[in-house]
């Protein structure tokens, strides 16, 4: 690599010594560095294992060691000589502290395994796994191979009704409709030999469609394990792991529960993975939920369901009775997509937090710019497949003259998951001076992730284009495997896009909407051209910003929409019949539209560029209606007249009952009590 220690040192404000064989003849320098107690960053990931072993063998080594890859990500490209700003930025961010710890989710697996499938195949797999598991088999008949005649594994049978759960907590429910009690059966095969129809297999399940009720098997059984009069009953049991050998899996979502495996049974990787899942385990609780911000439901109406629609693990469900959602942390795989599509910030990504990612991006982009770099493009990729593709591209650049490699202005950023970062952080990165934000996606991401990110990118790009920023700022780069490296290489050489006139100083906040507002204000105030437009139209799907349109002719000012709004965007006036709207607060959840009995509301996805976006704007007001008894206002003239018109022909609202509708609630009670008293006196 054409490293320049002088340029790198100037960027880092340090005097650097360039080591060319630190993992061999210069290893002593590394050992002395880790004895200082200061954090040490090693810019080599290839020899991570070797450096870790050296650290263990070094007496007095107390330093925290971090690793960063500057080779494939920049050192091995056709413009590597211009990569010093990027390399400096990568080295600086490697010094940042680790994310703050969060609450963890625990799993406990003692190795109780359920294998579902043909008996011969299931027994074969159970033998391969050996004594590491306490295995039970749910038989689905006998395949083509031999079965064990000894009762080596507990055998279950019947009709499976459900399989739910996760590692350490799987629950199988089935109907026991087999006349043979498998716990009593000794596998003597007397029943198999006695059955004239051959309706009994070597898994000791009776094919009731083939059985002609000769009951020869009952007579042949010496342990009374067969009883055709036994009632069909429901049974259930729990398991730690499940190996499903059936053609179709039980769980069809993209991210199946941990501890569940669907396989042909002899896949060595699956068997090794299963063996590694015996013991006690922990993972971060990736997502935090604030119910008071949630726009899922109000007043028995469903509004936003974006998180449930996008979840690839089926970890999010509706708790309609409590007017909220439920997140099952044991099923959650930590992709964070739910937090990026959540318009309110009710769901937030916990590890790392958005604020921590913001600190990293700010340090990365500012160091890059301070070191002389221009038009930084951020390439967000996953830690496994995405990182592997970036490395492959770097290696290919050394061997193939037609491959350019990762350009000097493109800064790869490894994420736990590519969809864990969304609209608010992307726009913040642009505010910090990034020219573009690109997301590298592979087959490991669920298809709905790409859809959701595409929708969010369309919103973000519409905002920037509407404000006069030229170029394409956001893009998804879909790459399946190394065969697509040429396409990735070409995409990474795209032209830069326009950035704000001034770099932002704000920090990414814990609250998503707060960050979004800070980013929007900066982008509007420092746009390259001053637009004359008052509004920027946004896509109809995926926009967390917008207004509402009111049909004043249909509105009765019942204020049902105010009660339904979870974001305080719709407000009333305690002193007068008025409906007000604060556009900045609106999250476009649609609860007001679904709640309105007159169908007078509709959503308008947009970004309002006027100052009144943050102010309460009057949408509608009406003449108050005064009680005919006490003259106190209690409704609107239009609302009461509409009610009288609808109920005038009803048999329950005739005469005095109709007049009571013109009274306030207090006077109605008084009038009813007075009328009843007068009626009693008349009767006397």
For the chain, what is the radius of gyration of the CA atoms? 34
pTM over the 0.85 mark: yes
| E strands, 245-376, in order | 260-262, 279-284, 287-289, 297-298, 301-302, 316-319, 324-327, 347-349
- Architecture of the domain defined by 547-621: 2-Layer Sandwich (3.30)
Q: Helix, strand, or coil here: 63?
A: coil
Mean pLDDT of 404-414: 96
- pLDDT tens profile 387-407: 999 999 999 998 899 999 999
pLDDT of residue 513: 96
Mean pLDDT of 521-538: 94
Interval 176-229: pLDDT, tens: 888 888 778 888 889 999 999 888 888 888 888 888 888 899 889 989 999 888
pLDDT band at 4 (very low <50, low <70, confident <90, very high): confident
Q: Say what percent of the chain tops pLDDT 90.
A: 63
Per CATH, 285-349 and 547-621 having the same topology is answered yes
Question: What is the length of the chain?
Answer: 684
Supply the pLDDT for residue 452. 96
Average pLDDT score, the chain: 91
Give the pLDDT band of residue 680 (cuts 50, 70, 90).
Answer: low
**Fold category of 285-349 in CATH:** Alpha-Beta Plaits (3.30.70)
Indicate if the pLDDT at residue 522 is higher than 70.
yes
Whole-angstrom distance, CA of residue 51 vs CA of residue 23: 7
145 vs 76, more confident? 76
> What's the confidence (pLDDT) of residue 678?
61
Max intra-chain CA distance, the chain? 117
Query: For residue 519, with 0-12 CB atoms within 10 Å meaning exposed, 13-18 middle and 19 or more buried, which class applies?
Result: buried
CA distances from 109 to 80, 211, 239, 257 (A): 49, 41, 9, 14
**Alpha helices of 443-541 — where are they, by DSSP H?**
447-466, 485-491, 512-525
More reliable by pLDDT, 341 or 659 = 341
- For 672, how many CA atoms within 13 A lie in the half-sphere containing its CB? 10
Q: What digits encode the pLDDT tens for the residues 6-26?
A: 878 777 777 878 888 888 899
Residue spans per domain, the chain? 1-67, 70-99+353-521, 107-281, 285-349, 547-621, 627-683
Spatial separation of the C-alpha atoms in residues 318 and 313, rounded to whole Å? 15
For 630, the token pair is 């006490």
Closest to 429 (Cα-Cα) out of 485, 484, 376:
376
- Segment 642-660 shows an average pLDDT of 84
């Amino acid at each position: 690599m054409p490293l320049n220690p002088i340029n790198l040192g100037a960027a880092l404000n340090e005097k650097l010594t360039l080591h060319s064989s630190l993992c061999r003849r210069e290893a002593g320098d590394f050992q002395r560095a880790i004895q200082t107690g200061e954090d040490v960053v090693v810019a080599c990931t290839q020899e991570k294992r070797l450096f870790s072993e050296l650290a263990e063998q070094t007496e007095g080594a107390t330093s925290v060691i971090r690793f960063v890859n500057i080779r494939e990500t920049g050192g091995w490209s056709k413009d590597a000589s211009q990569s010093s700003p990027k390399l400096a930025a990568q080295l600086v961010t490697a010094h940042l502290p680790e994310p703050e710890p969060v609450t963890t989710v625990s799993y406990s697996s003692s190795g109780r395994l359920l294998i579902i499938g043909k008996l011969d195949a299931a027994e074969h797999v159970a033998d391969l796994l050996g004594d590491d598991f306490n295995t039970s088999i749910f038989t689905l008949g006998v395949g083509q191979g031999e079965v064990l005649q000894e009762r080596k594994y507990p055998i279950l049978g019947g009709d499976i009704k459900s399989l739910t759960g996760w590692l350490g907590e799987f629950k199988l429910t089935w109907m026991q409709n087999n006349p043979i009690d498998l716990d009593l059966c000794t596998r003597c095969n007397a029943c198999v030999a006695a059955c004239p129809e051959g309706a009994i297999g070597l898994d000791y399940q009776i094919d009731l469609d083939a059985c002609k009720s000769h009951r020869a098997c009952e007579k042949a059984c010496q342990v009374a394990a067969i009883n055709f009069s036994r009632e069909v009953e429901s049974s259930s049991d729990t398991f730690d792991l499940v190996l499903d050998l059936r053609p179709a899996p039980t769980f069809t979502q993209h991210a199946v529960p941990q501890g569940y495996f669907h396989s042909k049974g002899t896949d060595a990787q699956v068997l090794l993975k299963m063996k590694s899942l015996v013991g006690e385990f922990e993972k971060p609780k990736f997502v935090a939920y604030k119910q008071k911000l949630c726009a899922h439901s109000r007043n028995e109406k469903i509004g936003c369901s974006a998180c449930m629609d996008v979840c690839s693990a089926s970890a999010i469900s509706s708790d309609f009775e409590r007017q909220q959602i439920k997140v099952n942390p044991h099923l959650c795989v930590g992709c964070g997509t739910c937090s990026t599509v959540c318009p309110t910030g009710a769901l937030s990504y916990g590890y790392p937090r958005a604020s921590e990612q913001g600190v990293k991006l700010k340090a990365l982009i500012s160091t890059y710019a301070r070191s002389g770099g221009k038009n930084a493009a951020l390439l967000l990729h996953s830690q496994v497949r995405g990182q592997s593709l970036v490395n492959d591209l770097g290696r290919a650049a050394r061997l193939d003259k037609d491959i350019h490699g990762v350009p000097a202005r493109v800064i790869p950023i490894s994420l736990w998951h590519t969809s864990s970062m969304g609209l608010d952080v992307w726009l913040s990165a642009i505010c910090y001076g990034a020219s573009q934000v690109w997301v590298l996606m592979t087959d490991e991401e669920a298809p709905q992730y790409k859809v959701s990110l595409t929708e969010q990118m369309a919103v973000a790009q519409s905002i920037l284009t509407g404000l006069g920023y030229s170029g394409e700022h956001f893009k998804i780069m879909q790459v399946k495997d190394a065969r697509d490296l040429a396409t990735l290489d070409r995409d990474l050489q795209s032209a830069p896009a326009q950035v704000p006139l001034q770099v932002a100083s704000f920090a990414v906040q814990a609250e998503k909407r707060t960050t979004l507002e800070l980013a929007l204000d900066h982008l509007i105030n420092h746009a390259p051209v001053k637009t004359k437009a008052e509004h920027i139209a946004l896509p109809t799907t995926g926009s967390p910003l917008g207004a509402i349109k009111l049909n004043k002719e249909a509105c009765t000012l019942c204020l049902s929409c105010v009660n339904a709004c979870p974001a305080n965007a719709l407000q009333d006036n305690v002193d007068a019949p008025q409906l007000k709207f604060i556009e900045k607060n609106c999250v476009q959840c649609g609860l007001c539209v679904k709640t309105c009995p007159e169908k007078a509301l509709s959503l308008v996805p947009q970004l309002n560029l006027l100052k009144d976006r943050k102010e309460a704007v009057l949408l509608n007001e009406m003449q108050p209606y005064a009680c005919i008894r006490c003259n106190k206002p209690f409704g609107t003239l239009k609302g009461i007249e509409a009610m009288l018109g609808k109920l005038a022909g009803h048999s329950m609202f005739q005469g005095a009952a109709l007049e009571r509708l013109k009274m306030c609630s207090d006077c109605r009670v008084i009038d009813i009590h007075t009328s009843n008293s007068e009626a009693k006196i008349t009767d006397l």
